[in-house]
Structure 1
Amino acid sequence: MEIKNVLVADAVDAACVDLLKKHSINVTCKYKLPKNELISEIKNYDALIVRSDTKVTADVIEAGKNLKVIGRAGAGVDNIDINAATAKNILVLNTPGGNAISACELTCSLITTLARNVVPAAASLKAGRWDRKLYSGHELYGKTLGILGLGRIGREVALRMQAWGMRTIGYDPIVTAEEARKFNVESLQFEEIWPQVDYLTIHTPLIPATRNLISEPVFNKLKKGAKIVNVARGGIINEADLLKALQSGQCGGAAIDVFEEEPPKKSITLELIQHEKVVATPHLGASTTEAQIRVAVEISEQIIALTGKSKEYTSVQGVVNHSVLEKVRK
């Protein structure tokens, strides 16, 4: 595949640009272009690299007359119209393992934070109070952690929380029970999870099947007081239903890093963030120096591999629409 000109539309680590240029690929960086400017600009490029800020909609893709590749420096591709890209035989790539450790570590940190009421206790002490008894917490040892999605991040979370003495159970429609046992997760059916978990963590993509996956019917089936963590994607948890479950005490606490709308503006979301049992962070799952370098390098390596001109970079492990890759290789 001939790739001469690449547009980087969101800020990525300089390692991405440096590696592409090292392999004689022209790179232009124009961050956070308004949609009309992106539509006007995209016709000049063979490849587009984005993170989460730029929305690669059907009309942007239609304007990309020379576009062959859209690369997401990160895992989620819900900001890219996959169907529109596939219809035009444009490859969509992501970096599925690039931020796995960072997202995993934030998840584990949030689980322990919920267990010991770290955030409200710290705020109380900063305000001049000594509410030692008020913020008494719970041990994680012997508790059950439910993991929805047993891919790279879910597996890493399982291994780390097992070290805390947690029992780990999980659900993933494409991971077999035998495979899950290899990392000490008991694979259960979707409905079997809810009454067993003390903590629930989500590691699935946002697709039509997972939108509002965790909503009122699920909260009603959860063990009373169970806590929930979402470092995956906003929209997987119904925010209004989560708020209701927190207010009733059915949900004992929540740690939320991702929201239906980012930055949040809706009144329900803002009320959720302010709830005393919620720890909220501004989409920090991949916000580590190491992850940002890793995803930047991985997306550039894949684009270089597609040119077929490098003996060092030959793997395109992040292809999302494999049907296009098969056509390209014929």
Structure 2
Amino acid sequence: MARIVISEFMDERAVAQLEAAHEVLYDPKLVGDAARLRAEAATADALVVRNLTQVRGELLAALTRCKVVGRLGVGLDNIDVPACEAKGMKVIPATGANALSVAEYVIASTMLLLRGAFASSAAVAAGEWPRAALGNGRETAGQVLGIIGFGSIGQMTARLAQGLGMQVIAYDAMLPPGADVFAQTGVRQVGLDELIAGADAVTLHVPLVDTTRGLFNAARIAQMKKGAVLVNTSRGHIVDIEAVGAALRAGRLGGAAIDVFDVEPFPASTSLRDCPNLLLTPHISGVSAQSNERVSFMIADKVLESLN
């Protein structure tokens, strides 16, 4: 019987599936106690994490008998994958399991930001009637959605956008010109500069690597179509949050939805307080009741398979 340590929240039915076969320590708060996490890791044959647990440095060194690291999500920037593999540990992300949840978040955020009319409840309830101010919002149909990063989440987002009548263009540095996936999805492949200049809404679905760090800085945001909206559900450090705030206040950027941050939890920021047409969420675009179930059971199955 192996020992499995789970340091962040997981669907409890998937945890029970693991407990039926192996010894399991499940403590969603374990990630917040570094010393205890390292101590428990020393006797772990498998470690299951989300995005907060940093599998590197001292924690990685403590994993002396671990065979597999299960990632309840898809991003791997919190895991030193080469170092894990060098120690003989298999790293398993939940590829595709939360794609629909992220794609729905992107589309819902884009619709909210383009229309710009859904933050008026308090004003209307107070007897105000901002009809003229809110009557110039844009319909979603006919707008151009630019997708940067055309993997499973980008493709799912494209399908939902097309269902609403949006035109979809995409750029992916890893795909060659004329890659089959563009014809298969009915999405026009374009260069990065063309996408940024031509899209009414831009959504990011790229990993955090050297070439994407700082990708959307002040200069690149300035290249966007005036009034365009930006959605980031990929990773922090890819978008300059301060530049987003400045562009919103200047009226250059039409709206932004930010779900990921350089530091999480995100520290209080006066520069973003009361910014117009800004949605901030705590890294939950890929987390829904259904996606948590899919992600948890996928990782439970793959961890059991690796241990057996």
- Normalization by structure 1: what TM-score? 0.86
Tell me how far apart the structure 2 counterparts of residues 13 and 45 of structure 1 sit (CA, whole Å).
20
- The answer for the alignment partner of 1:53 in structure 2 is 52
Select which of 6, 12, 15 maps to 1:14.
Answer: 12
Q: Secondary structure at the match of 2:42?
A: helix
- The answer for the alignment partner of 2:162 in structure 1 is 162
Q: Is the 8 A contact 1:273 1:279 kept in 2?
A: no
Q: Is the 8 A contact 2:215 2:238 kept in 1?
A: yes
- CA RMSD, 1 decimal: 1.7
Tell me how far apart the structure 2 counterparts of residues 290 and 77 of structure 1 sit (CA, whole Å).
22
Counterparts of residues 158-237 of structure 1 (less than 5 Å): 158-176=158-176, 177=178, 178-237=180-239
- The answer for the alignment partner of 1:25 in structure 2 is 22
Tell me how far apart the structure 1 counterparts of residues 307 and 9 of structure 2 sit (CA, whole Å).
23
Name the count of aligned residue pairs. Answer: 303
Tell me how far apart the structure 1 counterparts of residues 274 and 206 of structure 2 sit (CA, whole Å).
25
Tell me how far apart the structure 2 counterparts of residues 256 and 161 of structure 1 sit (CA, whole Å).
19
Tell me how far apart the structure 2 counterparts of residues 236 and 201 of structure 1 sit (CA, whole Å).
12
Deviation for aligned residue 1:158: 0.8
Tell me how far apart the structure 2 counterparts of residues 281 and 122 of structure 1 sit (CA, whole Å).
19
Tell me how far apart the structure 2 counterparts of residues 181 and 127 of structure 1 sit (CA, whole Å).
51
Q: Is the 8 A contact 2:146 2:199 kept in 1?
A: yes
- The answer for the alignment partner of 1:320 in structure 2 is none
Tell me how far apart the structure 1 counterparts of residues 106 and 256 of structure 2 sit (CA, whole Å).
12
Tell me how far apart the structure 2 counterparts of residues 19 and 99 of structure 1 sit (CA, whole Å).
20
Deviation for aligned residue 1:282: 2.1
Gaps of 5+ in 2: none
Gaps of 5+ in 1: 309-330
Q: Is the 8 A contact 2:17 2:300 kept in 1?
A: yes
Deviation for aligned residue 1:62: 0.5
Q: Secondary structure at the match of 2:133?
A: coil
Deviation for aligned residue 1:68: 1.4
Tell me how far apart the structure 1 counterparts of residues 12 and 217 of structure 2 sit (CA, whole Å).
40
- After alignment, is 67-76 or 242-251 more displaced? 242-251
- After alignment, is 186-195 or 127-136 more displaced? 127-136
Question: Structure 1 stretches (4+) deviating beyond 6 angstroms?
Answer: none
- After alignment, is 31-40 or 147-156 more displaced? 31-40
Q: What amino acid does structure 2 have at the position aligned with 1:275?
A: C
Identity %: 33
CA deviation vs aligned residue, 1:230-265 (integer Å, no higher than 9, x gap): 122222111122122222222111111222222221
